[in-house]
Chain A
């Protein structure tokens, strides 16, 4: 009998030790994950903040090796590309989201659309760039801001569709019923009541799509191409923040490296603001007012 109890005691000891080991490993993993994030953010802020000066926002790039330039044209370019893209991506994305939430719920078609949107979100963005190159740049025989904007716009569609759907589903059914009960036509009820109630969430969802797409380089490589000068012409190549960062990062010039860090910081701030806003709207429940 005593060998039995010692065996059980040893067993228990082993199990407790394993438990502690597992806990330790989990904590270690967490630290190892947080470390690069902190490192990246810290380094970015350190390098980027010192390079962010007024010239960054007002001047265009200078020649190789010269200092004192900025990324003003790239910031403008990204803005223009986002504007073109959102003109295409936002209406279609929101409409698709409305379909999923208001007309397709639970149906096979809606499930297929949702599934395809999720899969599409995982397709490499460079593939989108090739497709638009083939569709627009080749026939037109020149690179253009328009093609870049369209590439970005198409990339926005799956993201905006899903976030719009999620936000619309959060609107309580009681609100829809109230509108229908008044004899309001369905299309009016969806747009003026349901969508309006969900609008904080839908808008922040679009902002998140903008922020994500604003940082994309690959689809712009052979559409918008990049531009060292001021340009707002949709039919010509245009500068963009991530393109400029890429060009500067792989260059041999210190000053350009410095500006790449500054540009990265601008992008990161944009991302942090959007992600935080979306979290705020969905968890703190600006939509909960509907209850």
Chain B
């Protein structure tokens, strides 16, 4: 037999007093048994399967536009650089002479300038960005975290031309008057910091680039470091580690791949930066060891000489440089994104 617990339950009786709801007749006063006007209306609306399909298709097409943009850029660049591609072939990228007057085009000075300025930028920015990220994620008092990350986000959003403006009137004089003499005095023996010193040059470009790529390296490093599960940190701490040791072994070691990814992403940005670099690099297509000497980057030569390109070969050469820049930045960015994705999306990083 069933126990008492069931008998506590009452079974509904129709006389139970309701709450405020009025007594209900048919929905809209129409004859009972007949569907109401509302139901008739809705029945007439149909299934809308066609509209849904069309909508989905439209959204899909727009999403595909992303691929379309890549295809568009690639095809236009390839098309317009055919002249120099067929004329110079691969030697284009190894030639050191940039001589538009005589129709001789070699892109090596610009590749050199781009690489060196980017390298200088990385050397300066990477340690600072990682230090900043460590501070914000592991050491910072809670109330500072928001403002600090906000400031770095602002830094990332400042337009290149504004950085360039500041670099021309503030950074270059500081370099020329204070920092470069010091560098020449202490490190001149390396051959990297010797006369002439106009302020404008590779070093200036490298410094302004470092300021520009710092926010992106930092924010991605922070994202990657926060993705490391707390359990890793706690495990190291439980062994009696100091905070730095916890950071080094519990966080950085696991986030290594992602941090490399964010550094590569910063490199990608540095490679393509145009305006700020153009304004301070000096615009001289020379290949010299001296960091204080003027140089020229791939993006800068395009920016400066495009509108003056008087003949088709000249234009084609510039566009071919643009094509190279496009391909390189795509590869670098793709690699970087993959590395960051590997850490933040849960593929467990190897602890080795």
Residues of A within 8 A of B (CB): 15-16, 18-19, 21-23, 25-30, 32-34, 36-37, 39-40, 43-44, 91-93, 95-96, 98-100, 102-104, 109-110, 113, 115-120, 122-128, 130-131, 133-135, 138, 154, 157-158, 161, 183, 185-188, 190, 208, 211-212, 214-218, 221-222, 225, 242, 245-246, 249-250, 257, 260-261, 264, 267-268, 271-272, 274-276, 279
Contact = CB atoms under 8 A, between A and B. Distances in A.
A157 B65 CA distance: 9
B66 A33 contact: no
A267 B162 CA distance: 9
Contact of B303 (A15, A103, A126, A275): A126
A30 B322 contact: no
A270 B171 CA distance: 24
Contact of B244 (A18, A104, A110): A18
Interface in B214-269: 214, 218, 242-245, 247, 265, 268-269
A29 B137 CA distance: 14
B48 interface: yes
A183 B56 CA distance: 18
Interface in B277-313: 279, 299, 302-303, 306-307
A100 B265 CA distance: 24
Given A18-B242, A96-B62, A250-B279, A135 B131 contact: no
Q: Which secondary structure dominates where chain A touches chain B?
A: helix
B322 A261 contact: no
B195 to A, nearest CB: 24
A18 B48 CA distance: 68
A55 B51 CA distance: 53
A25 B51 contact: no
Contact of A124 (B135, B272, B279): B272
Given A96-B63, A186-B52, A271-B157, 19 more contacts: A26-B134, A34-B151, A39-B170, A103-B60, A115-B337, A116-B67, A119-B337, A123-B329, A124-B273, A124-B326, A127-B77, A133-B306, A187-B54, A208-B157, A215-B158, A246-B279, A249-B164, A249-B279, A279-B153
Given A221-B307, A222-B306, A126 B70 contact: no
Given A36-B211, A92-B65, A212-B157, A119 B242 contact: no
Contacts of A30: 131-132, 135-136, 148
Contact of A131 (B76, B139, B299, B302): B76
22 contacts: A27-B139, A32-B128, A37-B154, A39-B170, A43-B166, A103-B59, A115-B334, A123-B326, A124-B325, A127-B73, A133-B306, A134-B77, A185-B52, A187-B52, A187-B54, A211-B157, A216-B159, A221-B307, A245-B162, A245-B165, A246-B161, A250-B279
A95 B62 contact: yes
B158 A120 contact: no
A264 B165 contact: yes
Q: Which of B67, B151, B162, B273 has the most CB of A within 10 A?
A: B162
Nearest to B55: A187
A119 B268 CA distance: 10
Contacts of A268: 158, 162
A272 B341 CA distance: 29
Given A33-B128, A33-B132, A118 B337 contact: yes
B306 A217 contact: no
Q: Which of A93, A185, A268 has the most CB of B within 10 A?
A: A185
B275 A218 contact: yes
Contacts of A36: 155, 211
A272 B154 contact: yes
A26 B132 CA distance: 6
A198 B27 CA distance: 35
A249 B337 CA distance: 35
Which 3 pairs between the two chains have the least Cβ-Cβ distance?
A29-B131, A215-B159, A124-B272
B150 interface: yes
Nearest to B42: A183
Given A122-B269, A275-B153, A246 B275 contact: yes
Q: Which of A92, A117, A125, A127 has the most CB of B within 10 A?
A: A127
